[in-house]
Every structure is written in structure tokens, then in C-alpha cells.
Amino acid sequence: MSTARGQANHALYLARILLAAWRRDLAAESVANVTLTQAYLPAVREHLGLAYGWFLLEITRPGAAPETPPRCIAHLPGIDEGKAIPGEIREFQKLEQDGWIGDMLAASPARSAAPSPDNLAVVAPIAGPDQSSLWADQLQSVFDRMGDSLDEY
């Protein structure tokens, strides 16, 4: 397993640890859901984004891997001239543009307006542990599927 793939798997593992803690804290009902979402969602999204970025590097295998992974395909190091763009990158481009990866990368951390004296309502968070777990599961599935074909190279 390459260093980039190992880093991707580690970031995904860290996201899953946070998701488990988020669910435990929700079950304890000692802190409001919106507050837990504000605490956990940015960190979970960060780990999922890092996992995705490291896996992008696994696919493209640049000569010298950067210290931090790209945040999206647009931030990937250039592909060598004359080298074909891998099919996995084209698939990820589509998923970033109109799919769940674009949603995962664009999801705002728990948007909630501060309640005003006249209105105590707050806007519900955009993503919670269920959506975040779905993103983690989808990443794992894609990593597994694409990893099999990458291992054949």
C-alpha cells in the first residue's frame, strides 16, 4: 500500500472515530444537536476531505507527493504531458461537479443563525452524522473499487 493510500485510509478512520463520538454524544442528550453538529461536522468533513485528497494523489502518483493533499481535482499537481488522464480522475470530476463528492466538499458547517430576541428558531444543520456516515461509506466503497484496479497497474 502506498503512502498516499495509507494516508487516505487513516483520514477515513479518523472521520469514523469522530462519527462514533458524535453519535454517542447525541445519544447522551446532554448537548443540543445543533451544537454537536457545529462541533463535529467541520472536523469530520476535514478528515473526509483529506481522505479524498490523499486518494487523488494515489491515483495520479505525482513524482514528489506534497505534504498536504489537494482539496479537489483542480488542486492536483499537473499530470505529466503526454500521460492520459486516468479514468478514476474523470469519474471523480463528474462526482465533484454533479455528485455526492461535490456535496461533501461544499457542505457548509452546520449553518445556524443566531436566535434573535424576537425569534428563537435556528436554521437546521445541513449535514448530520447520518449524511456524514453516508459520505464516509461512499468514500470507502470507491476507494475499495478503485484500489483494486490501481493495484493491477
pLDDT of 115: 52
User: Using one digit for the tens of pLDDT, what is the confidence trace for 22-52?
Assistant: 999 999 999 999 999 999 999 999 999 999 9
Show contacts of 57-63: CB within 8 Å, 24+ apart: 57/4, 58/2, 58/4, 58/5, 58/8, 58/147, 58/150, 59/86, 59/88, 59/89, 59/92, 59/146, 59/150, 60/86, 60/89, 61/2, 61/4
The pTM of the full predicted model, rounded to 2 decimals, is 0.84
Those residues whose C-beta lies under 8 Å from the C-beta of residue 55, and which sit 6 or more positions away, are 4, 5, 8, 139, 142, 143, 146
Confidence at residue 96, expressed as pLDDT on a 0 to 100 scale: 95
